[in-house]
Amino acid sequence: MIDGLLIGSVYGLAAMGLSLIWGVMDVINLTHGAVIALGMFGMYILFTALHVNAYLLLLPIIAMGLVFGTLVYWTSVHWVIGRPQLSSLLSTFAVNMIIIGAGTAIWSTSPYNVNFSVPGFTVGLYTFTGNHMAAAAAAVIIALALELFLYRTRPGKAIRAVADNREAAELMGISSTTVLALAFAIGIALAAASGALVSTLFPFTILSGGAYQLKSFVVTVLAGLGRPLGALAAGLLLGLLEGAVTPFIAVSWIPLIEFGLFVIVLVVFPKGIFAKATA
């Protein structure tokens, strides 16, 4: 249960990236899972090369995520902004195929892991695993930093302004293209960071990102498109749910449950989904 809660904070972090891009630019970023996987491998490569504290390596991974995100934005997303959603779905999905294809060619689909552990501690009957605690702490810190960025700094406020009303923001002198590129880059960096955190918890393959992508969709839909802390809370909820059901059913059923949750939430709480369409 508590492990579930701790992992949930990482789900929340992953979902924040998706939710930011979705909310600001109305693009559903299908490269999300692939970038999470890239984050895992980024951590693996840096860690095996440098052998320093894995959590310190989050900083270069976030930086690389920003650069990579900007690159993806200018090559494939910028041109489809304002076109119907089908185009951006397909273009981000094409990038996803390229990343997965290249990743499979380089690393094959065999599992890797990052050999780094933080000593845990025991309270009463329960042992807290160090890695889970540290990953959760890192996720919460990043979430708080993002929240501060969006609400307390000028570029953060510009992102929210563009999300609210792009035309109006442009009239106020905000260059929406720069803002969109920035938001996309941050979203990608968050995905990479969450992948890096996951890699300290479980073994992973280049295809592992897909499962986290699905979880991110569920979390995003649960939280609605809004504040990062909302996504964090919804991530915790999902992690808690997983922790609560796993003692009773086989792990292979979990995707079924998550998907069921996704559809039920969308169908039962369609607010914001049908709002534009029924006009």
Partner 1 sequence: MSSQPSTDAAAPARKSAPSASRGPSVPPASRRGGILLHPVFWLTLVFAGLMIAVPLHGNNVALREDLVLVAVAIILASNLNLMIGYTGYVNFGHIVFYGLGGYVGLYLATVRHWNLVLAALAAGVSVSLLALLFGVGILRLRGAYFALATIGVLVAVHSFVSNFDPFGRSEGMYVSFDSYAPLGGPMRALWITYFLVIAVMALSMILSLAIKKSKFGLGLFAIREDEGAAVVLGINARVFKAVIYSLSAFLPAVAGALMFYKNGMIDPSIAFEYMLSLEGIVMLMLGGQGTVVGAALGGGLYERLRSYLLTSPRLSNFHLVIAGGLLLLVVLFAPGGLIGWLYRLAPRAQRVIE
SS3 212: helix
SS3 175: coil
Residue 89 binds partner 1 (CB under 8 A): yes
**R_g of the chain, CA atoms, integer Å:** 18
Residue 81 binds partner 1 (CB under 8 A): no
Task: Give the contacts of 126 (CB within 8 A, at least 6 positions apart).
Answer: 2
Q: Are 192 and 39 in contact (CB under 8 A)?
A: yes
Selected range binding partner 1 among 76-84, 119-127, 145-153, 173-181, rule: CB under 8 A: 76-84
Residue 205 binds partner 1 (CB under 8 A): no
Selected range binding partner 1 among 123-131, 155-163, 167-175, 270-278, rule: CB under 8 A: 270-278
Residue 122 binds partner 1 (CB under 8 A): no
User: Binding partner 1 by CB under 8 A: which of 84, 124, 173, 247?
Assistant: 84
For 228, other C-beta atoms within 10 Å of its C-beta total: 26
User: Binding partner 1 by CB under 8 A: which of 1, 67, 102, 145?
Assistant: 102
Residue number with CB closer to partner 1 (102 or 148) = 102
Residue 274 binds partner 1 (CB under 8 A): yes
User: Binding partner 1 by CB under 8 A: which of 74, 151, 202, 259?
Assistant: 259
- Work out the burial of residue 162: count CB atoms within 10 Å of its CB; fewer than 13 is exposed, 13-18 middle, 19 or more buried: buried
Residue 85 binds partner 1 (CB under 8 A): yes
Residue number with CB closer to partner 1 (144 or 263) = 263
For 126, other C-beta atoms within 10 Å of its C-beta total: 10
Angle at 192 between CA 191 and CA 197, to 5 degrees: 100
Residue 83 binds partner 1 (CB under 8 A): yes
For residue 279, give both structure tokens: 């006009």
Residue 90 binds partner 1 (CB under 8 A): yes
- Furthest CA-CA distance within the chain: 60
Residue 226 binds partner 1 (CB under 8 A): no
123-162 positions binding partner 1, by CB under 8 A: none
- Work out the burial of residue 273: count CB atoms within 10 Å of its CB; fewer than 13 is exposed, 13-18 middle, 19 or more buried: exposed
User: Binding partner 1 by CB under 8 A: which of 49, 152, 267, 271?
Assistant: 267
SS3 92: helix
Task: Give the contacts of 256 (CB within 8 A, at least 6 positions apart).
Answer: none
CB of 278 to partner 1, least distance (A): 7
Angle at 251 between CA 193 and CA 255, to 5 degrees: 65
Residue number with CB closer to partner 1 (152 or 276) = 276
Query: What is the enclosing helix (H) or strand (E) of 217?
Result: helix 209-223
User: Binding partner 1 by CB under 8 A: which of 62, 95, 159, 193?
Assistant: 95
Instruction: Summarize as ranges the residues that interact with partner 1 (CB under 8 A).
Output: 26, 28, 76, 79-80, 83-87, 89-91, 93-98, 100-102, 104-105, 210, 214, 217, 250, 252-256, 258-260, 262-263, 266-267, 270, 273-274, 276-279
